[in-house]
Amino acid sequence: MSGGLMRRYPICLWLTVLGSIIAVLSVFLMPCFVVRAQGERVVMVEARAGLPFSIHFIHSVQKTPVLENLEINDEKDGFNLLSTKYQSFGVGLPFLAEEGDFREEGDYYIFDHMDRHFRTLSLRTGVGTKLTLTVDGREYRLYERYAPGTRIDLSIVPFYRALLGC
């Protein structure tokens, strides 16, 4: 009886080692939503399909608030712009009917169902723009932390790259 156990022991050991390697690899390959600025990681959360986040800023020309609502796409390799809310028409703001469902709500113009897709996003802090990011219910006032002109990169990368800063 003990001879049978001895012959199976190496197989059990190899299966345990193989299972452990697969588990570690799955964690290191897990997609993460990462926000970086000046080489530092500002945000790192698991990239879950449909995870909402928003970008809020003061338009640099119009000097009015803009709110962009996005989510992580189903493939967990990019972002979908869902809607934009703003107070005045201006450079870089949507205004064409084919860009989404347009409506006015009080003092705001809202575009819903925009269906714009991005692999990555690069933003910049600006003088008076108050660039703020809300991710997973947490607010990041990037304008308080970084000087005007600082590049802010949003991307989805495997966990190991998020850790290494790649």
- Exposure string of 14-32, with b = 16+ CB inside 10 Å and e = fewer, is eeeeeeeeeeeeeeeeebb
pLDDT tens, residue by residue, 8-62: 667 877 777 777 777 776 667 799 999 999 989 999 999 999 999 999 999 877 7
Provide the token pair at 77: 């390799």
Q: Which of 63, 5, 34 shows the shortest CA–CA distance to 140? A: 34
Q: What local confidence, expressed as pLDDT, does residue 92 receive? A: 56
Global pTM value: 0.80
The set of residues, in sequence order, having a beta carbon less than 8 Å from that of 123 and lying 6+ positions away, is: 55, 131, 142, 151, 152, 153, 154
pLDDT tens, residue by residue, 82-125: 999 988 765 555 555 667 788 888 988 888 988 899 999 999 99
